[in-house]
Amino acid sequence: MLSSIFGKKSDHPMADIKSAQALLDDLPKNDAHKMLMELTEWIESVADNTGFKLDHRFEMLRLLDETAQPYARKLARDYFTPQELNKFQENRLWLALGNWSSHTARAYFAVFDRYCSGDKGASNLKAQLPLLAARAVYALTGQLKYICAHYGPIDNAIWGNLARIHQHAEQQQYLDTPLALYSGMAGNTTVKGELGRLLGWYGCGVNTLKPLYMHLTERIVGQYCTGIDVGVQQDANSLFSFDLDRPAAPVCVKAGVTAHSSIRFISMAAMRPKLATLIKTLGKGTVPEDLNLGGIYDAELVREAAQYLLNYLTAPPLRRSARRGIKVNLNVVNGFTRVIERTGAGLNFSEEQPANWDIEDISASGFRTVLPAQGTDGIRIGSLLGVQPGGVQHWGVAVIRRLMRDGANQLQVGAEMLANQIAAVALSQSGGGGGGFENGQPALWLRAKQGDPSGEARLLMRADTFSPHRSLQTRLDGKNYLLIPLILQEKGEDYDLARFRLIEQESSSE
């Protein structure tokens, strides 16, 4: 740590504002990555220097944090981009942003903790206490976001620190004190607003999202965090709960459960009409100018993120079927092309062998497994999997919906089964004419499950193949079918999942 190289307090470059400013003037401002790394080290140095009075430590921390903000925003724009990054660049950005956010969160909470302990200089901080607490929560939100972006194990200290801040702000009655979090940031916020932002955003199933959508949903929730309430009373709008005495990740509220005095309830009902209005505007291809997303994003991407939030707030997902502790051995291939290779006309031209997964937690709608740290680079939210239980001839398909790394860096994977049985088919455009569509294009026909609508079919197609204005033809089990498009149900990285109305045709119509 940098603090170890300094002797007397007066020798530290952050000992007074003049020397601190001189140090900042010498930093490499034309290199955002190097600048953020340098500032992270100085934040660590200030946090660890017990020789500073508490008010001076907070002043230096604010100076470093505010200096870092534009560089952190620049790197975040580079990291949360619709374009896929190469592994080296992605890791380089994530390490810089993750280290900065975790050290900043640790530094702010250390000042807050010493204030609560009555450390030297604490009395001079009383007027700035709401800002200190709000900055600490905001930094914890950043720390949590970069952990989630790598589906990492959540540091339980985050929940404990949040509980401490909430309890103190509630007791000292500054939860609702309006404040400007950073200069240049539109509008005021409160400690309660920042707490609601973190708890509400994380509660909405963050580990079911890709990193880009984690970022967009966090920014959207932050935009409308004044519509989040954190209170002691449970009511019909209570969505999540957070226990101040036993802090852990927020959980969905269950009706009829006895509430303890330490539990706080998070309601996001007031956010729903704001999201609905936003979605309507985005549907017209316009991103509102006052929506601060930390970058420029396509309206459709933002609409999908906002729609995800609205769907979650309106009807939180529930487990559709009970999990069973039955051990199943699965052959698994990852990606649309590899699934096609395993099912195309019963032939397999790929020499690559399927992976072998042991499944111990399974239900009618999906499964969960734990994979070793190595060999999971291609596994991500939205990955299409071909799955074949041991001893079974046919293949099914699943999509990865949830990821989380545990303390041993093993990857916990939750997948939804789309179909237990699939068939490879070749698609051609109805009525002839290419129209940009390659006749004989391979697709996967998802065999109907009990309860599926009659007269319809679901198909997995190559990405960007589906068109709502183009009917298709195919042949399955000796019968010819006309496929009239109904809806694109899901768009993955390498597939379209679409639903069609099904019309059987006479053989002579080939």
Concatenate the DSSP letters of all residues of 139-196 into one string: HHHHHHHHHHHTTPPPPTHHHHHHHHHHHHHHHTT-TT--B-SSTT-SS-B-HHHHHH
Could you say which of 169, 203, 237 is where a domain stops? 203
Residue 73 forms part of a structural domain: yes
Residue 389 pairs with which residues in a beta bridge? 330
* Domain co-membership, 410 together with 436: no
Could you say which of 145, 172, 203 is where a domain stops? 203
pLDDT of residue 440: 81
Measured CA to CA, the distance from residue 14 to residue 35 in angstroms comes to: 17
Measured CA to CA, the distance from residue 157 to residue 160 in angstroms comes to: 5
* Domain co-membership, 448 together with 365: no
pLDDT of residue 146: 96
Measured CA to CA, the distance from residue 46 to residue 63 in angstroms comes to: 11
* Domain co-membership, 433 together with 446: yes
Residue 170 forms part of a structural domain: yes
* Domain co-membership, 428 together with 499: yes
- Count of Cβ atoms closer than 10 Å to residue 73 Cβ: 13
pLDDT of residue 506: 76
Residue 220 forms part of a structural domain: no
- Count of Cβ atoms closer than 10 Å to residue 314 Cβ: 11
For residue 228, give the 3-state DSSP assignment.
coil
Classify residue 344 by its DSSP letter. Answer: G
For the domain that residue 430 is a member of, what is the CATH number?
A: 2.40.10
* Domain co-membership, 486 together with 360: no
| pLDDT tens-digit map of 189-226 | 999 999 999 999 999 988 889 999 999 999 999 999 88
pLDDT of residue 324: 61
Distances (CA, A) of 153 to 96, 252, 360, 405: 18, 20, 21, 5
Give the distance, in angstroms, between the CA of residue 404 and the centroid of all CA atoms in the same chain: 11
* Domain co-membership, 36 together with 153: yes
* Domain co-membership, 399 together with 468: no
The 3-state secondary structure of 428-479 reads EECCCCCCCCCCCEEEEEECCCCCCCCCEEEEEEECCCCCCCCCEEEEECCE
Render each residue's pLDDT in the chain as its tens digit; 510 residues: 444 433 344 477 777 888 888 888 888 889 999 999 999 999 998 888 878 889 999 999 999 999 999 999 999 999 999 988 898 999 999 999 999 999 999 999 999 999 999 888 788 999 999 999 999 999 999 999 999 998 888 989 999 999 999 999 999 999 999 999 998 787 789 999 999 999 999 999 888 899 999 999 999 999 998 889 999 988 889 999 999 999 999 999 876 666 789 999 999 999 999 999 999 999 999 999 999 999 999 999 999 999 999 999 998 776 555 556 667 888 999 999 999 988 864 445 556 788 888 887 777 788 888 888 776 777 888 899 999 988 888 899 999 998 888 777 788 888 999 999 999 999 998 766 555 566 788 999 999 877 778 889 999 999 999 999 999 999 998 899 999 999 999 988 899 999 999 998 876 544
pLDDT of residue 260: 85
Give the distance, in angstroms, between the CA of residue 195 and the centroid of all CA atoms in the same chain: 18
pLDDT of residue 320: 53
* Domain co-membership, 450 together with 390: no
Residue 296 forms part of a structural domain: no
For the domain that residue 351 is a member of, what is the CATH number?
A: 2.40.10.220
Burial 186-199 (b: 16+ CB within 10 A, else e): eeebbbbbbbbbbb
Could you say which of 203, 223, 241 is where a domain stops? 203
Residue 320 forms part of a structural domain: no
Where in the sequence is the domain holding 489, given as residue range(s)?
422-509
- Count of Cβ atoms closer than 10 Å to residue 81 Cβ: 16
- Count of Cβ atoms closer than 10 Å to residue 391 Cβ: 6
As a residue count, the chain comes to 510
Of the candidates 468, 412, 475, the residue with the CA atom closest to the CA atom of residue 443: 475
Residue 375 forms part of a structural domain: yes
- Our CA angle for 76, 79, 85, nearest 5°, is 170
* Domain co-membership, 372 together with 450: no
* Domain co-membership, 414 together with 443: no
CA dihedral sign, ordered 200, 203, 207, 209: negative
Residue 200 token pair: 């509400």
Measured CA to CA, the distance from residue 338 to residue 334 in angstroms comes to: 6
* Domain co-membership, 42 together with 173: yes
Give the chain's domain count: 3
Cβ neighbours of residue 279 closer than 8 Å, sequence gap 6 or more: 303, 306, 307, 310
Residue 377 forms part of a structural domain: yes
Classify residue 387 by its DSSP letter. Answer: E
Read off the amino acid at residue 22: A
pLDDT of residue 133: 97
Residue 268 forms part of a structural domain: no
* Domain co-membership, 55 together with 148: yes
